[in-house]
Amino acid sequence: MDRRRFLLAGTQVLAAGSLWAILGRTAGSGDPVLPGLDEAWAAGGTEGARGEVVGAPGALATAGGAGMAPRTPLLGVAHGPSPAAITRAAVDALGGMGRFVSHGARVVVKPNIGWDRTPEQAANTNPEVVAALVKMAFEAGAKSVLVMDNPCNDPRRCYQHSGIAEAVKAAGGTVDFFEESRVRKMKLGGERLKDWEVHPAIIEADVRINCPVAKHHGLSELTLGMKNWMGSIGGPRGRLHQDIGTSIVDLAAFFKPQLTVIDGVRILTRGGPQGGSLSDVKRLDTVIASADPVAAEVRGVILAGRKPEEFAYLAKAAGRGLGRTAWPVEEEKLLEVAAG
């Protein structure tokens, strides 16, 4: 897929005539902006030969200009036909998994495995994305990699039909089922959630990798990384929807992932969170990675064809110091990963 088609792919779920916004820009302003993908590519993106991974050299330059050492991008956004390859490329753009996982670390990868659906239905995280993260964590020296979720449908059917259980085991990781008998009430110290039932295996891990699928949600409109933490808690989770924005910010502040990887291989545009109809699925072949959970969330919102200002919880999360909602184009690296 050429660069123009890559840029336009993310607009397939937009209303007719609308464009990706470049938010926060004013004439002559030097303030940080939220770049659209087209502007980020203009910072120096190039197209790779078969099997190559190349991106935007300009995105590695510091604000100080030429002659200064490159800095690690805020986000890595990778596009291509292989979910595993683009996952690896997006994380490598941030400095590689070794930046997040040290030797002997206990790692938890938290995907969405909430529904008894196949990968093609896009209700769960793509199993190839999850398996790639497991492999990279072991390559970085992880002692163990645990993958788990608290599904809404039958857990065993969800784990099996999503393809995640088999993919994780093949990658050397461990899958576990969420059991209410194992949760412990913990102090979250949130604005709305003061305490809640949390699975200790997730919060006690040395490294937490949040790996949601980007998709439509009938109540919250979209579900991405912050809402994905609802699969790490027990108790009456439905109550959180009474003030879902504040609730998921409270969860994000408590779990504090070291890395967020958003699966945009397939996006569920309607009928979420459970989905079911293939006509509601758009294939975008994109993965977003960032150490900043708010920045990853913002880019995920845009990939899903929505504007960040439509979701008040993003500003709330930034206001609580969880991350950034705007950045210069130089802090984002885009990668086109050709088929090998």
Kindly write down the DSSP assignment for every residue of 192-209, as one continuous string.
Answer: S-SEEEE-HHHHTSSEEE
Q: Are strands 221-223 and 213-217 parallel, antiparallel or unpaired?
A: antiparallel
- The predicted pLDDT at position 86 comes to 96
| Ramachandran bin of 122, using left for φ above 0, alpha for ψ from -120 to 50, beta for the remaining angles | left
Q: What is the C-alpha separation between 203 and 184, in angstroms, rounded? A: 11
Which residues fall within 8 angstroms of residue 281, CB to CB, at 6 or more apart? Answer: 120, 121, 122, 266, 267, 268, 269, 275
Confirm if 167 and 130 have CB atoms less than 8 A apart: yes
Backbone angles phi, psi at 289, to 5 degrees: -135, 140
Structural domains in the chain, CATH included, are 71-337 (3.40.50.11440)
In this predicted structure, what is the pLDDT of residue 9?
39
The answer to whether the CB of 334 falls within 8 A of the CB of 56 is yes
pLDDT in tens, the chain (340 residues): 444 344 333 333 222 222 233 222 222 333 343 444 444 444 433 333 222 332 232 233 223 344 444 678 999 999 999 999 999 999 999 999 999 999 999 999 999 999 999 999 988 999 999 999 999 999 999 999 999 999 999 999 999 999 999 999 999 999 999 888 899 999 999 999 999 999 999 999 999 999 999 988 877 788 899 999 999 999 888 888 888 999 999 999 999 999 999 999 999 888 768 787 898 899 999 999 999 999 999 999 999 888 999 999 999 999 999 999 999 888 999 999 986 5
Per-residue pLDDT at 339? 67
Complete DSSP assignment for 144-194: EEEE----SS-HHHHHHHTSHHHHHHHTT-EE----GGG-EEEE---SS-S
Please, are residues 267 and 224 in contact by the beta-carbon 8 Å criterion?
no
What does the pLDDT read at residue 126? Answer: 97
